[in-house]
Structure formats: C-alpha cells, structure tokens
Amino acid sequence: MRVFTNARIVDVVDGRIIEGKAVRVDKSGKISEIGESVRVTSSLERGEEVIDLDGRYLFPGLISCHTHLSVVFPFSLTDPNENPAVTAYRSAQRANEALKAGITTLRSVHEQNQADLMLRAASKSGWFEGPRIFGAGRAISTPDGHGKGGACSYAKDFDGFYRAASEELAAGADHIKIFITGGLAHAGESPDVPEMTDDEISGAVKAAEEHGTYVVAHAGESKAIQQALRLGVTSFEHGYVMDQETVDAMKAKNVFYSPTLCVTRSESWMRAKGFEEPSIQNALKASERHLASAKLAIKADLRMTNGTDYPPGDLVDGIPAALHELFLMHDAGLSTLKSLQSITSTAAQLIRQENSLGQIREGFEGDLIALEGNPLDDPQNLRKIDLVVQAGRVIRSSL
C-alpha cells in the first residue's frame, strides 16, 4: 500500500539507529517488509505509493497511557447527566488532536458515559479518525471517593466492586480503573488518604482477572500502594507520596508506574483552562514530593510509562501534554532511552500489545512518526514531527 524510503529507523528497544531502510506497510495496515531502500523501491507493487523520508528518523507512533478525553475543566462543571452524544463529541475532538500530535494509541482510564468505548466502535466502523483506544470505560469509585462528582461508576464492598467492574468489562473495557486514595482535584481532598478496603480492591481484581486483564489504580500514597500490590493491582498512577520501601515493593512485583508529573507542574495551563484556585494550590503544593517520589521510582528502575492525566494532545506551554510529560520524566533523571521507551515499547507492554505496537518491526502495526532530529541524541527532537502515519495511512504530513 505504502513504502517509506530512506528512513533512519529508531530501534527503541536496543537504542540504535538502522540506516537507509525502507518500510513497506501492506493493505492490512501492518509492516510487511523492512529492507534496503534501493531493493524495496525496485520491487514496487502496482498502485503502491512511495514516500521519501530523505534521511529522516522513523520512530514508532506514540502511546499515551493515562488519558481522560471526556474530562471537563474546571472539574466542578462536570454534568453527571450530560447527554452521551455531547460527551462523545468533546472526546472525539481531543482524540483527533492527540492523533495529529503523533499519539497513535492511547490508554484511557475513565471516560464519562464510556466515551472511549463508543469512540473505539465508531473508529472501527470508519466514522471517526483517532488513536487506537484501550479503554477502562468508567472508573469505579467509592461513593465519597476521588471519583465523586466525576460521572464514574460508584460501588461499595466486595460484591459492589466485583459487579461494577464486571459491568464495564461486559461493555468492552480493556482494563479496570479504581481510586485507592484521594487526589488533588478538589478542595479539601488529599492524596494521603486511602479510600478502599481490601475487599473492595479484591472485588475489582477478581473481575479483571476473570476477563484476563488487570486493574489500574489512581494511587496517591505508600500505604495504599502496598495494600493494592498485595491484592494484585499491577498498574499504578501518580504516586504523589512514595517512600523507598514502597518503590522497592513495586520493583519486586515488576508493576508499571505512570508518574503523570505534568499534573503538578503545569500552572499556566491550569490557569488558562480555568481551574479553580484550590485545585491549582493542591497541585503546586504536591509538586516537590511528587518529583521526589518519581526520582525514587527512576532509581529503583520501575517500568515507567507516559501518562498525562490530561488530553495528551492538549498544548501545555506550546507542546502536546504527552511530550511535556516525556521531557519532565527525562529531566527527573530517566535515561533518554527509557524516556523514549515509556511512550513506545514499555507502554505497549502495559497495554499487552508488545507484539504489535511500540516498535518498528515486520508484523507490527504501521504506526509511525518521522522526525528531522535523532531522538536518541535528545528527546527534545520529538518537538518537530514532520509525518504521522497510522496503520499505513498518512494522518498529517509536512514533507
């Protein structure tokens, strides 16, 4: 279908550049061949389009791992009775912006009215262009927990969480999202407060395991993280306040961690979006210990993934939130290669797509971006993306 020639392929697993290659993506949208440019272009099939990358770096499409496409700013304007069509339009616009920013896949971890599951269905039928979506549907919250007022699913006790989680999975959710502590979103709320019992966490984990999937936890502090680790949660988000013992326990279980550093370091963006003052102050006050926790996680060599908590294509200080997060993780001490893996190959492991997404390899999906500068020299080179390709289709090009 399409051949991308004269590419310098970035191997994000080994951290090396493979020079002078051509990448062929077939009708199914998968990479069918990677070979020498000269040889592949001499064997063009009829109707095949050639795109000359002229020595640009070819990088896997980005995978953003903690997204809310339907979120309303400020949070207090969330209408729990909103018509699902309105939620879907808002989410579709954010999804489309993310795709244009190079995010060809995203993992959503709570969408009002299960907008993520609706968009995925619309996209499969060809009615909508957006990233590949791995969705949680609605998050499940205790009635007075972090999800209060956020149009979540609400539950109590083992049976309540088991039933609520089973309901999201039956609707097509790929994983289950819970809140094991408070957060920073609301006045008077604190990430230091655990808010689920052992039984409640176990109910969610049981439902997820019965469907062959996993639970992702909004996790503010150490004690609740250790509780959830013990009960089988494998994906942790935020970690605003984590101690050494906790990151060691996370490492021992080889779980995933999305620090979402941009949540506590995007003041200008929050102001521009009309966030209320208590939310802004909560975020800024947590920012120092949040960074210290992320640094502990980096030192302990946890599997780090890129999550924004915001629509990942939203511009923060002029760059898409997902890249803002990548640069923050890099500045916090994550190596260049691991920073790049956090938004490609490690992210693919998290969503259990390591054999089809997150790398440029034969048999993988044809999700690609092209850049002028080498991201292995400096991740900041991701600021200038000249081409976005999803399943072999050109989404955006300035070549």
| Residues engaged in binding Zn ion (CB under 5 A) | 309
Question: With 0-12 CB in 10 A as exposed, 13-18 as middle and 19+ as buried, what is 143?
Answer: exposed
Q: What amino acid occupies position 340? A: L
Distance in Å, CB of 110 to Zn ion, minimum: 6
CA atoms of 309 and 191, how far apart (whole Å): 15
**Minimum distance from CB of 109 to Zn ion (Å)?**
6
Cross-strand pairs, 141: 154
Please report how close the Cβ of residue 244 comes to Zn ion at its closest, in angstroms. 25
Please state the closest distance from residue 259 (CB atom) to Zn ion, in A. Answer: 12
Contact by Cβ (8 Å): 213, 134: no
DSSP states of 356-385 as a string?
TSSS--TTSB--EEEESS-TTT-GGGGG-E
β-bridge partners, 62? 103
Tell me the closest approach of the beta carbon of residue 308 to Zn ion, in angstroms. 9
- Would you say 73 and 150 are in contact if contact means Cβ atoms under 8 Å apart? no
Smaller CB separation from Zn ion, 160 or 311: 311
- Shortest CB 306 distance to Zn ion, Å: 13
Q: Residue 382 corresponds to which tokens in the numbers above?
A: 């991701």
Closer residue to Zn ion in complex, CB, 309/325? 309
Measured from the CB atom, the residue of 325 and 365 that comes closer to Zn ion is 325
Nearer to Zn ion, 85 or 187 (CB): 187
Cα–Cα dist 399/387, whole Å: 7
Measured from the CB atom, the residue of 219 and 391 that comes closer to Zn ion is 219
Burial 99-136 (b: 16+ CB within 10 A, else e): bbbbbbbbbbbbbbbbbbbbbbebbeeeebebbbbbbb
* Closer CB to Zn ion, 309 or 367, in the complex: 309
Give whichever of 61 and 311 is closer to Zn ion, judged by the CB atom: 311
Residue nearest to Zn ion (CB): 309
Q: Hey, what are 121's tokens?
A: 């269905």
Q: Least distance in Å: CB of 176 to Zn ion?
A: 14
Q: Which residue has the tokens 């269905």?
A: 121
